[in-house]
Structure 1
Amino acid sequence: MNLKEMLNLADKIVFEKTGQHLDDLQEAVLRGTIERETYKQIATDFDCSESSVRKVGAELWEILSEQLGEDVSKSNVCSVIHRFKGSNVSNFAQEGVTIANFNICGEARHPPDIPNSHRPNEETVNSKQTETSHQDLSEMPELGAFYDRTPELDTLKTWILQQRSRLIALTGISGIGKTALAAQLVQQIKHEFEYVIWCSLDESYTLDELQHKLIQFFLETANLESPATNQKPLPLIKYLQKYRCLVVLDDIHNFFISGELAGKYKPGYEEYRLFFKQIETLYHQSCFLLIGWEEPREVPQKESQNTPIRSLQITGLDTAAGWEILRDKGLAEIDNYSALIHRYQGNPLWLKSVATLIKELGGCVTELLLDDTILLPEDLKDVLEEQFDRLSEIEKQVMSLLAKENGSVNLGKLLENGRIPPSDLLNALQSLSRRCLIEQQASFYTLLPVLREYIKGFLERTK
């Protein structure tokens, strides 16, 4: 399909839903999206605000989603329209059959006031999709406001759909948006899999329990399709080899023990080490997505290009997305908002917390923000305390050293402290990096300003 054909088809879909053709801005958003422009570029071309483009885009994707029976977004609209054209139009175009409540070859054969009961059943249109896609997303958090992470989504989709990665670790500090990103990803790619399941992990999920849960998921769907067949359970790897499956394990850090370096399994959970190694090395056509503050030690932070195992560390939002959070909290007009976003590293949870504090105090604390003051609301302290309590004693010592410095610290200077043996220091730095609590550039290490402020307060309280 060329650009004109895609626009015409989208126009027909929107008209069937709303009774109105695409307006100029809707067409500009769709045209720009097809031509791989960003919302910012589309806004510049159309001479309007980026927020207006985003709003119109969101409304357009919602209309297309409802009509096509599939979640549509900026990142997948082209493929969805192509797929719809290929699966439906080619089979029925010559006969002029009405598909999904509109006719590709001309006007719809039924007037809009015909009762829904007399119209084609949308479930019939998507019968192939529903017959081959089994999903258990009951434990996946409900999608709320999602702030643009197009590069991360594109990276994950490339790894999963094109490179067929078998194991992906999605890590980042608390509140950075890992779960929200994963939920958005699942919504966009779930129809590419025969089986999709989301598991929110807690301390009770031993490997045996997890495998039993996954196998039961396969068996229940198989028995629904063939109730007369009483299938015996197979080893989990057999299902992963037979079907294209996406398994999401959220809060993976609950497998690991507190008070130790990152990624050390709790007693009774050591079998996961071999399990994840099998997922990496044994042939199958499925993908495991692990989400958490820490990742298994078996997952390398830097991997070769062709490896089936990947790791993506999530960092803060850019200024534009950070401003959307402040706007949603009623602080769209705050002075020097970009400095505030930078000070809190674009962390969505941190920004929401400090924005709520500012709003509830009537904005009077904004003057404090002019001199680089970092505010730590009580709910933010609780979040930081939960993650800080997981650290080993050696990591806490290293964090205390870094907190005493205002900027980056050279490794050589850290080694001169005399209190921490060099081997222990290096292991602690590696662990803190895996926990996403410090930043490294060459041989220099930096503590995030919010963490530095929290640790300073912690040291004062423990004197």
Structure 2
Amino acid sequence: MTSGDSDRSKRKRGIVLTSQGIQKLRTAITHLENEENFGQKLTIAELGFRTRLTPDTVAKVLNTEQGVDYRTLDSFFRTLNLELGESDYIRADLRCIPPLVATPPQPATVQIDWGEAPDASIFYGRTQELETLTQWVQVDRCRVINLLGLGGIGKTTLVATLIDRLAKRQNSSAPAFEHIIWRSLRHEPSVDEILSDLLQVLSNSPALTLPHTLNQTISQLMKILQQRRCLLVLDSVEAILQSKERSGCYRDGFEGYGELIRRMGESGHSSCLILTSREQSHEIRLLEGKDYPVRSHLLKGLLPQDGLNILQAEGIAATDADHQALLELYAGNPLLLKMATSTIHSLFMGNVAHFLAQEALTFGHIYDLLDHQFERLSALEKTVMHWLAHQGKSVLLPSVIATFVPSVSRQKLLGVLESLRWRSLLDCTSSGITVSPVIVDYVTSQTVDPTTSLELC
């Protein structure tokens, strides 16, 4: 007997599933994937672990090309709470149905609703940040990611670039998203509007009837996110947060977003919610951690070479020293650099040295952008920022505490410093607390006396 004849003889031994049996089994496996694996396909190895069968045996059962013994099929069915009936199997040598031919996996397609996402075709640097976010989304399977940073630092563009790259990587090594949806909170939509919008898109039903309560509506969304792997983006979250309070408090009527974020962070699912904001919400602070599925990333300025690429793209020709000075003064903030280069062209005929000689960093749109951020601060936060800006150098934490305590409680002061850090208005390093030159220039241009009595705070 030849080896080929031997292989064919082995295939005729035992029993195989009928069309009815294989359909019954695959339906049960799909149900198991939805209920216990967040809708993700179980591998042959994972099915083997659950059924206590070897991967090779599992493959034989599913492919129906080679026979197995009755005990194997019965064990497989019982593991999935199924009963192996007489019509579910047939002797391999009597099989009259063609074997199931495994079709090669088709490239995954993702449905993307870009909403108000920006065009990210022009993008500079951020290689490390993209690698970190990709790791969090694809490998660590984070449920909520909070991207924080000063206005103009590039949060929105970074996420848009990330999504564009993820959409192009839909393959077996990088688990695919079925849906990617981008929504902006800049125009302050209610949480009911956002939830209704998301559910209509995900269910493909414009006439969808929503539950009567917020909790039920969030539960309906969570059920979908558990069954499918979706990526949701909520941009400009600071628009629904209170101003003149410690960062992270919701405005009246927008508290439901906190419940949505909490449920997304605590519930089991394989989807992901990405938030961009100038401030961190309280829910994120409570849920985040290095090894937790909820994480925050504070986006800082561009690396020098990436910042230089922006200046060169804007047609700014200068000495290396002047280029470096411009990058340091604006802390590598892409939008502030572009605004400054516009003024350098229009008023200084492209001469960076003449611009730097004015020693005025905040004007026009740059001033407006920073003014908008500072208007959100509490009275005590403004007082602390004015004091720090007038020091002209890094300040050690004990010096800050000695200045404000006991006029302000130690607990309240530490909370304010933490809040200012998450607003990207100061930086904490081993050398002390520092404030970037452009922030110092803005703050010192204000008329408020940094020695103002703390009694009003």
For residues 338 and 422 of structure 2, what CA distance do their matches in structure 1 show? Answer: 25
Q: Work out whether residues 265 and 287 of structure 2, in 8 Å CA contact, stay in contact via their aligned partners in 1.
A: no
Question: What's the counterpart of residue 292 of structure 1?
Answer: 277
For residues 278 and 370 of structure 1, what CA distance do their matches in structure 2 show? Answer: 50
Query: Quick one: which amino acid aligns to residue 345 of structure 2?
Result: K
Question: What's the counterpart of residue 429 of structure 2?
Answer: 441
What SS does the corresponding residue of 1:138 show, helix, strand or coil? coil
Q: How many angstroms does 1:206 deviate by?
A: 2.1
Query: Quick one: which amino acid aligns to residue 323 of structure 1?
Result: L
What SS does the corresponding residue of 2:326 show, helix, strand or coil? helix
Q: How many angstroms does 1:391 deviate by?
A: 0.6
Question: What's the counterpart of residue 202 of structure 1?
Answer: 186
Question: What's the counterpart of residue 401 of structure 2?
Answer: 415
Q: Work out whether residues 353 and 377 of structure 1, in 8 Å CA contact, stay in contact via their aligned partners in 2.
A: no
Candidates 324, 328, 336, aligned match of 1:350: 336
Kindly tell me the number of residue pairs found equivalent between the two proteins: 328
Query: Quick one: which amino acid aligns to residue 143 of structure 2?
Result: R
TM-score in terms of structure 1 length? 0.66
For residues 227 and 118 of structure 2, what CA distance do their matches in structure 1 show? Answer: 28
Question: What's the counterpart of residue 262 of structure 2?
Answer: 277
What SS does the corresponding residue of 2:242 show, helix, strand or coil? coil
Question: What's the counterpart of residue 294 of structure 2?
Answer: 309
Matches within 5 A, 1:387-398: 387-398=373-384
Matches within 5 A, 1:54-453: 128-130=107-109, 133-190=110-167, 191=170, 192-220=176-204, 235-300=220-285, 303-336=288-321, 337-363=323-349, 366-368=352-354, 373-418=359-404, 419-442=407-430, 444-453=432-441
Q: Pairwise CA RMSD of aligned residues?
A: 2.7
Q: Which has the larger radius of gyration?
A: 2
Q: Work out whether residues 191 and 256 of structure 2, in 8 Å CA contact, stay in contact via their aligned partners in 1.
A: yes
Q: Work out whether residues 241 and 250 of structure 2, in 8 Å CA contact, stay in contact via their aligned partners in 1.
A: yes
Per-residue CA distance 1:399-427 (angstroms, 9 max, x = gap):
01101111111222222324433232211
For residues 302 and 410 of structure 1, what CA distance do their matches in structure 2 show? Answer: 29
For residues 410 and 333 of structure 2, what CA distance do their matches in structure 1 show? Answer: 32
For residues 424 and 365 of structure 1, what CA distance do their matches in structure 2 show? Answer: 46
For residues 362 and 161 of structure 2, what CA distance do their matches in structure 1 show? Answer: 29
Q: How many angstroms does 1:278 deviate by?
A: 1.2
Matches within 5 A, 1:29-40: none
Q: Work out whether residues 134 and 221 of structure 1, in 8 Å CA contact, stay in contact via their aligned partners in 2.
A: no
Q: How many angstroms does 1:221 deviate by?
A: 7.0
- Relative to structure 1, is the Cα distance of residues 327 and 246 closer, same or farther in structure 2, using a 3 angstrom cutoff? same
For residues 166 and 229 of structure 2, what CA distance do their matches in structure 1 show? Answer: 12
- Relative to structure 1, is the Cα distance of residues 240 and 184 closer, same or farther in structure 2, using a 3 angstrom cutoff? same
Question: What's the counterpart of residue 31 of structure 1?
Answer: none
Q: How many angstroms does 1:175 deviate by?
A: 0.5
- Relative to structure 1, is the Cα distance of residues 403 and 302 closer, same or farther in structure 2, using a 3 angstrom cutoff? farther
- Relative to structure 1, is the Cα distance of residues 435 and 325 closer, same or farther in structure 2, using a 3 angstrom cutoff? same
Q: Work out whether residues 173 and 437 of structure 1, in 8 Å CA contact, stay in contact via their aligned partners in 2.
A: yes
Per-residue CA distance 1:356-376 (angstroms, 9 max, x = gap):
111112447633566693422
Q: Work out whether residues 323 and 332 of structure 1, in 8 Å CA contact, stay in contact via their aligned partners in 2.
A: no
What SS does the corresponding residue of 1:440 show, helix, strand or coil? strand
Q: Work out whether residues 169 and 299 of structure 1, in 8 Å CA contact, stay in contact via their aligned partners in 2.
A: yes
For residues 126 and 112 of structure 2, what CA distance do their matches in structure 1 show? Answer: 24
- Relative to structure 1, is the Cα distance of residues 221 and 161 closer, same or farther in structure 2, using a 3 angstrom cutoff? farther
For residues 315 and 163 of structure 1, what CA distance do their matches in structure 2 show? Answer: 23
Structure 2, unaligned stretches of length 5 or more?
Answer: 1-103, 171-175, 208-216, 453-457
Q: Work out whether residues 301 and 311 of structure 1, in 8 Å CA contact, stay in contact via their aligned partners in 2.
A: no
Q: How many angstroms does 1:308 deviate by?
A: 0.4
- Relative to structure 1, is the Cα distance of residues 204 and 352 closer, same or farther in structure 2, using a 3 angstrom cutoff? closer
User: Which segment is superposed worse, 322-331 or 407-416?
Assistant: 407-416
Query: Quick one: which amino acid aligns to residue 425 of structure 2?
Result: L
User: Which segment is superposed worse, 294-303 or 212-221?
Assistant: 294-303
For residues 437 and 372 of structure 1, what CA distance do their matches in structure 2 show? Answer: 23
Structure 1, unaligned stretches of length 5 or more?
Answer: 1-124, 224-232
What SS does the corresponding residue of 1:170 show, helix, strand or coil? strand
- Relative to structure 1, is the Cα distance of residues 221 and 135 closer, same or farther in structure 2, using a 3 angstrom cutoff? farther
